[in-house]
Amino acid sequence: MSRTPNVILINCDDLGWGDPGCYGHPLHKTPHLDRMASEGMRFTDFYMASPVCSPSRGAMMTGCYPPRIGFGEFDGHWVLFPGQPIGLNPEEKTIASLLKTRGYATRIIGKWHCGDQPEFLPTRHGFDGYYGIPFSNDMARQAGAAHQWPPLPLMRDETVVEEQPDQCSITPRYVEDAVGFIRENRDRPFYLYFAHMHVHLPIYVQERFLRESTNGPYGGAVAAIDWATGVLLRELERLGIDNDTLVLFTSDNGSRADFGPSNGHLRGIKGQTWEGGQRVPLIARWPGAIPVGVTSQIAASIDLLPTIAAIAGASVPTDRVIDGVDLSPLLLGKTTASPRTEFVYHHRNRVEAVRSGAWKLHVRKGDDEMCELYDLEHDPGETHDCAAEQPDVVARLSERVDAARADLGDAATGSSGRCRPIGRVAEGRPLTVYDPEHPYYMAEYDLAERG
């Protein structure tokens, strides 16, 4: 490494733990992701802070559990919807805003989903520029839908540049923009947050990937993600900055269903606090800096902010609680132990489970209380409840649940915790309004899938 490293963070949408070939999917061919894993570090026990997208993304950007930043619920909803008057508070610090203090060029491409009002857009949170769809690709006009959202916006910075775009073309357009950003900033440190549309429903994918897929449109979308990764890696090599760039690949939550099997051997799906809802892939590659191998140490998306800050020489805020820990000693091979030994699973504003070491205790699922204990080291599929056999472990983890409730709040017990407010404006307005005279590419998308 000859300079402060570039950082590329690739975040997929609804890609399950088991979807990449290097995580064992029997149908998906992902040569570029497999190469990343063979040249870097692959994590087996990496968690997103929520099993759904808005809280997951806000948490990763700020290094905080969702309730800490007011992202447990969104005026009664699981995620943010178009035109809501709420979003990521402008007072929060993000990975991008921290790296800006170190002279980084910053850009986000793809899905933001932390608020679509001007005050909450990524350009107000440390990103120099933005190109993408600001929320989920099903928040659009779709055939057969009982509720029609306004036309799906494609944005450049803070302006809508196209409505109801051809979704088959989105990934190639994102890749083109990413390559341009990398080339423009080859001589200075840069941070690129590439947030894929895939594999969220509805799945529109280019014919080439669909034709080659052995797992239908879903497999085609996985292949498109892999291709995009390959293009970025090739560009880094071509420009001679491969050894100066940390590339991280992950997903915002587990897959919504088992696409053969997308969540691997893990129990549960998107929206659930079983392992399949929140344990996701993480591949980290930085030639000459990150040792090659596989780690089963516990790590989480909220750790990326302090980790990237440490690597870039940026300061983590000291005027607020940050829940993430610095993983850079583990990532750079200075230790084999993670500083994270505990992880708290949230469903909206409720603590549903806690992991400490190998043990995971479930205390709630939705409105129902429970007490189930699993040994994730020997039973990652959460098939054998050990609660009756391990009362001491249950008691110890119950104390950790109580501590999490006191610290982060818990709607089920009425605890408020040490939490900061969500951002809010007086009135929310959608970015687009349907015009029957507008020559949309597709006035309504012909796929009725929503995810």
pLDDT value for 260 = 85
Query: With bands split at pLDDT 50, 70 and 90, how would you rate the model's confidence at 1?
Result: very low
Q: Which of 53, 114, 386, 419 is catalytic?
A: 53
Residue 2 has pLDDT above 80, yes or no: no
Query: With bands split at pLDDT 50, 70 and 90, how would you rate the model's confidence at 3?
Result: confident
Q: Which of 113, 125, 196, 346 is catalytic?
A: 113
Residue 259 has pLDDT above 90, yes or no: no
List, in sequence order, every residue forming a beta bridge with 46; answer none if it has no partner: 280, 299
3-state secondary structure the chain: CCCCCEEEEEEECCCCCCCCHHHCCCCCCCHHHHHHHHCCEEEEEEECCCCCHHHHHHHHHHCCCHHHHCCCCECCECCCCCCCCEECCCCCCCHHHHHHCCCCEEEEEECCCCCCCHHHCHHHCCCCEEEECCCCCCCCCECCCCCCCCCCEEEECCEEEEECCCHHHHHHHHHHHHHHHHHHCCCCCEEEEEECCCCCCCCCCCHHHHHHCCCHHHHHHHHHHHHHHHHHHHHHHHHCCHHHEEEEEEECCCCCCCCCCCCCCCCCCCCCCCHHHHEEEEEEECCCCCCCEEECCCEEHHHHHHHHHHHHCCCCCCCCCCCCCCCHHHHCCCCCCCCCCEEEEEECCEEEEEEECCEEEEEEECCEEEEEEEECCCCCCCCCCCCCCCHHHHHHHHHHHHHHHHHHCECCCCECCCCCCCEECCCCCCCCCCCCCCCCCCCCECCCCCC
pLDDT value for 366 = 93
Q: How do residues 298-343 score in pLDDT, each as one tens digit? A: 999 999 999 999 999 999 999 999 999 999 999 999 999 999 999 9
Mean pLDDT, to the nearest integer, of 411-426? 96
Q: How do residues 204-239 score in pLDDT, each as one tens digit? A: 999 999 999 999 999 999 999 999 999 999 999 999
Contact (CB, 8 A) for 422 and 68 = no
Q: What is the pTM of this model?
A: 0.98
Spelled out in words, what is the top-level CATH class assigned to the domain 6-340?
Answer: alpha beta
Contact (CB, 8 A) for 349 and 234 = no
Task: Give me the residue spans of the domains in the chain.
Answer: 6-340, 343-420
Q: Residue 371 catalytic?
A: no
Q: Residue 198 catalytic?
A: no
Spelled out in words, what is the top-level CATH class assigned to the domain 343-420?
Answer: alpha beta
pLDDT value for 188 = 97
pLDDT value for 109 = 98
Q: How do residues 106-142 score in pLDDT, each as one tens digit? A: 999 999 999 999 999 999 999 999 999 999 999 999 9
Residue 274 has pLDDT above 60, yes or no: yes
